[in-house]
Structure formats: C-alpha cells, structure tokens
A = this chain, B = another copy of it.
Amino acid sequence: MQKYSGQKRMLVATDCIIFGFDGWNIKLLLVQRGLEPEKHKWSLMGGFIQPSESPDDAANRVLELRTGLKNVYMEQFQVFGQPGRDPVERTLSIAYFALIDIHQYEKQLSEEYHPEWFLLDEMPDLIFDHVEMVRLAKRQLRYKAALHPILFQLLPEKFTIPQLQALYEGVYQTKFDDRNFSRKLLSTGLLVKQPEKDKLSSKKGAFYYKLDQSHYEENFESFLNLVPNPEKFF
C-alpha cells in the first residue's frame, strides 16, 4: 500500500451522547471509563474507530456493545479535535447523539460496563471535554427538535399526547398550552389513534397513539412548529 509521507496519523474515536426519557425527565447515559488515565471517572460512551469501520459503524458498534440496542436514532453532530483534549495522545472524537426509549433499554442492559442514567442537572464531572460535548448536544437536540419530529424516538411505540408534551416541556424547560399543543400535533397527520387508553397517569386516561411510519419518513424534512418561538431557547 502506498502512503502519504511526512504526515502525522492520529487516533479517531466516536463519543455518543445518549438521551433517554423516563416519562418525567430527560436523562443521560454515562459509563465509568475502563482504561487509564481517568479510569473509573464518568464518561460518554465512546471507542476508537477500527480500520474496517466508517465513523457511523463505530458509533453503532459502541452503542450496541454498551447498551445492547440496535437501530437507534443517531446523528453525527460535531468533531472535537483540540490538540490537547486527550492528554495521552492526539485523539479526534466524532460526537454523536442518540435518542432511545429508556424502558426498552432497561430490559437489554449490558451489565459489563455498569452504565447509569443521570438527570441533566445532576451530571457528575466528566473526562476530557465531555462536558462541552454534552452542552452542545443539548443545544443541537433543542435545535433539531424544534424543526423535526425527532423526539418521538425517546418514547415507546405507543404513547399519549400528554406524554409527548411532557417530553417537549422537559427538553425546553417550559410549559406549553395543552390545548394548542395537542391540536398542533394532531394536525401534522403524523399520529394514528389507537383504540386503548393509558389509564396509569391520569383519571380520565389519554388515548394511545402510534407514529404513522410512512408519513413520518416522508415528512421528516418538512418543518414543524410544535415549539413556539424556538429561538428563545438556544
């Protein structure tokens, strides 16, 4: 194999900010780092890109290895590459954020790395520049979710409108008008009403809905307006 001479190679990793939603709060999945330096300190889930892998492959492999989950919504959002960010040696990190249904995860939990969920405002100190990664991932999540229906990925297959609203309110840390929210949501045509109600979280009970999958994929690019004045939140 030919080589480009006189150039310095470097390690490249992926790190993934994994968001989950437990019905009340947004959470973040963290692990304790398994190797020196900073061993046992909390960290995002990451790993080095292998020779046969694309960055997306690597991010998916790491996610599956650590959580057992496949086919997760994941999006590359930024490269972190300050020369000194990893004190051991020059390492570039491609940051992803992933959205998973927290309950689906609990069943498939991989025990080996004992990951834990943290509330966003109870996050421990993280290694390297991971705090900054989380900050930008939150920002990116707010940005993207203001325009596109990605937050559905955090809910189970069947969910109620009040659940979805609680999720939006968690992401934007504010209250929305219930009446307008549900009407806007239904007018998108993304939801398919189910015959059953969820009777756990309220007296009256709210009907379950599913995503209209084909409609969802077709209209993923078009802009929603579930969040009034989204620029206020960036």
Residues of A within 8 A of B (CB): 1-4, 7-12, 35-37, 48-55, 76, 78-79, 81-83, 88-92, 94, 147, 221-223, 230-231, 234
A54 near B81: Cβ-Cβ < 8 Å: yes
B222 near A4: Cβ-Cβ < 8 Å: no
B2 near A89: Cβ-Cβ < 8 Å: yes
Q: List 26 A-B contacts (CB under 8 A).
A: A1-B89, A2-B37, A2-B88, A3-B88, A3-B89, A4-B11, A4-B88, A4-B89, A8-B48, A8-B51, A10-B10, A12-B81, A12-B92, A49-B81, A49-B92, A51-B83, A52-B83, A55-B92, A76-B78, A76-B79, A79-B79, A79-B94, A92-B92, A147-B147, A222-B231, A223-B231
Q: Which chain B positions have C-beta within 8 A of A52?
A: 83
B10 near A83: Cβ-Cβ < 8 Å: no
A53 near B83: Cβ-Cβ < 8 Å: yes
A223 to B234, CA, bound (A): 11
What distance in Å separates the Cβ of A231 from its nearest Cβ neighbour in chain B? Answer: 4
A221 to B79, CA, bound (A): 21
Name A55's contact: one of B9, B79, B91 (CB within 8 Å).
B79
- Apart from A2-B37, A221-B234, what 18 extra A-B contacts exist at CB < 8 Å? A4-B89, A7-B11, A8-B48, A9-B10, A9-B11, A12-B12, A49-B81, A49-B92, A51-B83, A53-B83, A54-B81, A54-B83, A55-B81, A76-B78, A79-B79, A81-B94, A92-B92, A222-B231
What distance in Å separates the Cβ of A167 from its nearest Cβ neighbour in chain B? Answer: 22
What distance in Å separates the Cβ of A184 from its nearest Cβ neighbour in chain B? Answer: 17
Q: Which chain B positions have C-beta within 8 A of A4?
A: 11, 35, 48, 88-89, 91
Q: Which chain B positions have C-beta within 8 A of A79?
A: 55, 76, 79, 94
Smallest CB gap from A219: residue in B: B231
A9-B10, A79-B76 known; A51-B222 Cβ under 8 A: no
Smallest CB gap from A92: residue in B: B12
